[in-house]
A and B are shown apart, each in its own frame.
Chain A
Amino acid sequence: MANNFAVTAALVRDTFREALARKIFWGFLGCSTALILFFLFIMKIDVVEGAVATMSIFGKDTRTMDLTRLVREVHGGIAAFLYTAGLFLAVFASAGLIPTIFEPGRIELLLSKPVARHHILLGRYLGNVLVIAANMFYLVLAIWIIFGVKTGVWTYQFLYSTAITVFVFAILLALVLLVAVLSESAVVATMVTFGVMLVSPILAQRHVIERLLSSEWSRDTVRYFYFALPKVFEIGRICREIVLGRPVTDWMPVWSSALFGVVILSAGLYSFSRRNY
């Protein structure tokens, strides 16, 4: 057990080291820090009588509204931006971290060690998720603190956006992992994953699309893809609802996407255990 933990820790450490060496970690950290500095110095919020606020960016007043609502709205906007842009950036930047271990001359050495194949791949996967989680948490926590200090409003729901973004990233990374195992190509893995992300907002409009389709089989196909693929777009909407403090009425996109992630990750691990290197 202790040995399993030590092996996992070594694999995670190695992924962080590679992310640092490839400047992925620094790139993310730089972007996050720039965004934090923007909120720290550029945005100014004046609290009036504790309940109404004026927010100004570059010194120009933009809105005056209820303080808690203002903070929630801003949090919601930031969360939606981080979710969309962050996911694209995270997949793009870190997709190469998994296929690199399949390089000839590297994989044989890894497989010669007394570690189960699935453990090697899961360690790498976990390391990759943690690299992104660390950056997301740093960014969201810093923004949350800045807003809290500036306004005195500490709505904890904003912090959930980290967990939701990392959760969706983990699902998408499972797809990267499966495609990388099958194709041993970072490019193919990234393209397939981006494809799934881009098709998500289209499939989210399935009721509209179904009305436009004439045949039953084409409607079934759309339905199949909708239920089978991760619902990135709809989870983004759920993320915003949560940050805004609104109740979530339908959790289906979350659990069906989680199911997709588990199935795809299992398929990736199985394929890896069967492959010849």
Chain B
Amino acid sequence: MPSDYAIETEGLTKIFRSFWSGAEFVAVDGISLRVRRGATFGLLGPNGAGKTTFVKMLLSASHPTRGRALIFGEDGRNHRARRPIGYLPENHRFPTYMTGEGMLDFYGALSGLDGPSRKRRIPELLALTGLEKWGGVRLGKYSKGMLQRVGLAQALMHEPTLLILDEPSDGVDPIGRRQIRDIMQALEARGVTIFLNSHLLAEVEAFCHDVAIIHRGKLALEGEVKDLTAGSGYRVKAEHVPERLAEELRTAGAAIFVNAAPQNGVPQSATPLNGFREFQFGTREAANRGVDLLRSQSCEIESVIRTASTLEDVFMRTIDGK
């Protein structure tokens, strides 16, 4: 029975042991993760968090110490499980003696494409990535951005249903980046599962529906981008706010205090800063009601600002524990 998940990992763990000292380093620590079929999934984490090791274990380039990875329900250790995967590695080193066409032909053959299909796909993909005039040129002459694009073309040769991209926009100029995003969007519309490993949080936020953050080898956070960034709202700054009214706003659940150090994760009534208090309202209606209430008590409104919680905020909070 086909799995509902493109990727499923169960307690995936990788421990590196020093040959000489026997010292252990836990690179990935019991990660269980599920990526739905057709999802656009972003994997985030600081450098050295274990993202690349995790991806390598998905591809069986690195063997898990414990746990397992399933690709569309098949054990990733079986090479046939990798048939639906298209992969663009970070810091790839394509053989420079190959031409763009030669490289696509080679990796297409390894992906199981027959000769006529490769002949058909090569010009299509070169055109798609804007390299139609460069097919016969050796890869040694390509710029970094061009290598990234031909690398993406390579990953798409056999029309994969799961695309794993490791820093796809690395070294690509804004036009190329846009091109790559357009390609990914077209693939998403066709139901291709896209697993994006990127340092560019804005790119992940703009494109992915689901994200996971890995920190020190462990899964620190997982969820839908819209849920994780739901902390957006309106910030109201007012003067001469009586304590009683501030408490009333807070207990009504309409607002939380800003400029106050949270205790046990709960915002506390703040000491006014220079006579000002700030309130965070979740919705426009709540902000309007709050402003009405403040004005009815003769409080002076200094400012009303729309705020948004970005994926970067979520990322920083997760990593720094703030």
Residues of chain A at the chain B interface (Cβ within 8 Å): 3, 6-7, 9-11, 13-14, 17-18, 20-22, 103-117, 274, 276-277
Contacts and interface: CB of A to CB of B under 8 A. Distances in A.
Interface in B66-101: 79-83, 85, 87, 89, 91-95, 97-98
A6, A7, A20, A108 pick with most chain B CB within 10 angstroms: A108
A105 B89 contact: yes
A7 B109 CA distance: 6
Contacts of B60: 111
SS of A interface (majority): helix
Contacts of A20: 97
A37 to B, nearest CB: 29
Contacts of B62: 276-277
Interface residues on B, range: 20 to 34
B110 A111 contact: no
Contacts of B61: 107-108, 111-112, 276-277
Given A109-B87, A277-B56, A114 B93 contact: no
A49 to B, nearest CB: 55
A106 B107 CA distance: 11
B267 interface: no
29 contacts: A3-B112, A6-B114, A10-B105, A10-B106, A14-B106, A17-B98, A18-B95, A20-B97, A21-B97, A105-B91, A106-B92, A108-B87, A109-B92, A109-B154, A110-B110, A111-B60, A111-B61, A112-B85, A112-B164, A113-B107, A113-B111, A114-B79, A114-B80, A114-B81, A114-B83, A114-B85, A114-B111, A115-B110, A116-B79
A131 to B, nearest CB: 14
A108 B59 contact: yes
Contacts of A115: 79, 110
B61, B82, B164 pick with most chain A CB within 10 angstroms: B61
Nearest to B84: A114
Contacts, number: 87
A17 B59 contact: no
A115 B87 CA distance: 14
A11 B95 CA distance: 13
Contacts of B154: 109
B62, B81, B87, B110 pick with most chain A CB within 10 angstroms: B110
A10 B92 CA distance: 20
Contacts of B92: 105-106, 108-109
Contacts of B82: 112-114
Nearest to A117: B79
Nearest to A120: B110
Interface string B128-172: 000000000000000000000000001000000000100000000
Contacts of B107: 109, 113
Contacts of B63: 274, 276
B231 interface: no
B145 to A, nearest CB: 16
A6 B80 CA distance: 16
B110 to A, nearest CB: 4
A45 to B, nearest CB: 42
A17 B109 contact: no
